[in-house]
Amino acid sequence: MTPPQPDTPPQPDTGRLSGTPLPDWLAGALVFLASAAVLVLEIVGLRLIAPYIGITLETSSAIIGVALAAIAAGAWTGGRLADETDPRRRLGLLLLAGGALMMLVPPVVARAGQELAGTGAGGVLFLAALAVFFPAAVLSAVPPMVVKLQLASLSRTGTVVGRLSGIGTVGAIAGTFLTGFVLVTLIPSRLILIGTGGVLLVAGAAVSAYLRTAGSDRRAAAAILVVGVLTAGLTVFGSRLCDVETSYHCARVVSDPARPTGRLLLLDTLRHSYVDAEDPTYLEFNYVNAIASVADVIAPPGEPLVTLHIGGGGLTIPRYLAATRPGGRNVVLEVDPGVAEIAQDLRPPLGSDLNLRIVDGRVGLGQQGDDAFDLVVGDAFGGLSVPWHLTTREAVQEVRRTLRSDGVYALNVIDYPPGDFARAEMATVLSEFDHVAVVATAGGLDLSVGGNYVIVASDQELPLTAIQARLDEREAPLQILAGTGLTEFVGDSAVLTDDYAPVDQLLTPYR
């Protein structure tokens, strides 16, 4: 009978799990580059689709979600291919394909965006997928390929995977910061993608040459390289929606064919501001007439007003107040330096009474003194939505703090039936001010149409009869709702707070 044998402890696997590895510096560089490029694409992708569907929480969520899905799909597929084929045959092709696809994104989004503008959540997701998914998925297949090449033995798996995972994360961070803090302030979005795609094409060609890619793969690499170059040309010389890409918007100024001196500022898909180059008292939009009428009543023309403007746009209202109330003062808080520059270039020229500050509206509001203003105008938008942090009770409290005892707050919001956001904002303002009214079209007030709502608030009784008379003089098709009628209109709408302000979910954009 054979005596039992002692258990033999498992021996470490010292054999290679893959072929000859890449130099560590090259492996790290490839993972760094691929990961950085994915994050560049994610950030720029949001800017590319914003002109067609606006900047909302849905838009940001769609881009982030699609990017994560692409990373997951690419990593999964790349890992499987690394086990089934020689990674050396794929690495250069993946970089080339990722670069070519990245260069193709701007013209594809431009064409699809025109068809999908104004669509619902499905359209938002589809456009986000066109902007991000395919190049991000291809590039996300690179790290598992590199990992497979670098694995020496089971005993080193943790070190190799951990090191390359860390390098990939650093690359993603670098891509995020470089794009968000540097590139978008210097270069148009399409050129950022062309530049990144070009780097990937060069890297892919170099890696293919270094790894001595086989003949059939060399032909595929050459074909992808040609497609990438042609795509770059299409992107550079194709039609552009923007005259200027600012830090937040796709902006352009167009002439009004019906009024030779009229200039219209378009931000993304919206008609944002209208300025007459020779007559600053000409006001095109109904909501601007509403705010100007309020200003005319609380301080008749000739009486100087001290006004804070949260959101600058084309500076239509500051120009109007400067022309009709010399000697006053206008403090404008505009977060986008590009929009501020465009507005200052418009005629008529701005006077010395204007203090234009490049700052976030909520931050700039908190920097103002107590009892400092006769009028505060809220007219800040990201797409159709007022930035959520300017909608809350806490923001309204800050406005109230800066107003003099008889000061007035005039806030412009946009919403469409059933008007959940507009009514919530009215409830929020009602929670802080003693006297509140809303100026809107008849269709807006019966929720048959919607549009702009100008919420007017003060701690003193509002001169509503005089405001309505001024609106009638301007022939503006606007009505005023206040008192019991406003309370019934608002209903049980929730008050928005810094802790709870689902503005994008409450808002019904125009479709």
Which is it for strands 270-276 and 259-267: parallel, antiparallel or unpaired?
A: antiparallel
Average pLDDT over residues 124-151: 93
Fill in the DSSP letter of residue 179. Answer: I
pLDDT tier at 3, thresholds 50, 70, 90: low
What pLDDT is attached to residue 211? 82
CA dist 90 and 218 (Å) reads 11
pLDDT of 4 higher than 80? no
pLDDT digits (tens, 9 = 90+) for 44-69: 998 888 777 767 778 889 999 999 99
At residue 189 the predicted structure's pLDDT band, cuts being 50, 70 and 90, is confident
Sheet containing 479-482: give its strands across: 354-358, 329-334, 306-310, 373-378, 403-415, 451-458, 435-440, 479-482
Please tell me the least confidently modeled range out of 1-15, 20-34, 393-407, 482-496: 1-15
Name the residue with higher pLDDT: 20 or 346: 346
Whole-number pLDDT of residue 238: 52
- What residue ranges do the domains of the chain occupy? 24-241, 274-506
User: Is 274-506 in the same CATH topology as 24-241?
Assistant: no
CATH of the domain spanning 274-506: 3.40.50.150
Establish how many alpha carbons lie within 13 A of residue 11's alpha carbon, considering only the half-sphere containing its beta carbon. 4
Determine which of 34-38, 172-176, 192-196 has the lowest per-residue pLDDT on average: 192-196
Say yes or no to pLDDT of 117 above 70. no
Predicted confidence (pLDDT) at residue 235 exceeds the cutoff of 60:
no
- Predicted pLDDT at 222: 58
DSSP secondary structure string for all residues of 324-384: HSTT-EEEEEES-HHHHHHHHHSSSPP-TTEEEEES-HHHHHHTSPTT-EEEEEE---BTT
pLDDT band at 13 (very low <50, low <70, confident <90, very high): very low
Residue whose C-alpha is closest to residue 402's, from 332, 492, 307: 307
pLDDT surpassing 90 at residue 281? yes
Q: How would residue 399 be classed by pLDDT, with cut points 50, 70 and 90?
A: very high
Q: Tell me the one-letter amino acid at 193.
A: L
Q: What's the whole-number mean pLDDT along residues 311-340?
A: 93
Mean pLDDT (whole number) for 20-33: 92
pLDDT band for position 221 (50/70/90)?
Answer: low
Give the alpha-carbon dihedral of 55, 60, 63, 64, to 10 degrees: 170
pLDDT above 60 for 289? yes
For 115, residues 6+ apart whose C-beta sits below 8 A from its C-beta are none
3-state helix, strand, coil in the chain (%, to 5): 55, 15, 30
Residue 298 is predicted with a pLDDT of 94
Convert the pLDDT of each residue in 67-111 to its tens digit. Answer: 999 999 999 999 999 998 888 888 988 998 999 899 889 888 887
- The mean predicted confidence, pLDDT, of the chain is 87
Least confident of 151-165, 210-224, 420-434, 445-459: 210-224
Convert the pLDDT of each residue in 409-456 to its tens digit.
999 999 999 999 999 999 999 999 999 999 999 999 999 999 999 999
Question: Would you state the CATH architecture of domain 24-241?
Answer: Up-down Bundle (1.20)
Residue 10 has pLDDT above 60, yes or no: no
pLDDT band at 230 (very low <50, low <70, confident <90, very high): low
Quickly count: other Cβ atoms within 10 Å of residue 65's Cβ.
Answer: 14
Arithmetic mean of pLDDT, 342-347: 87
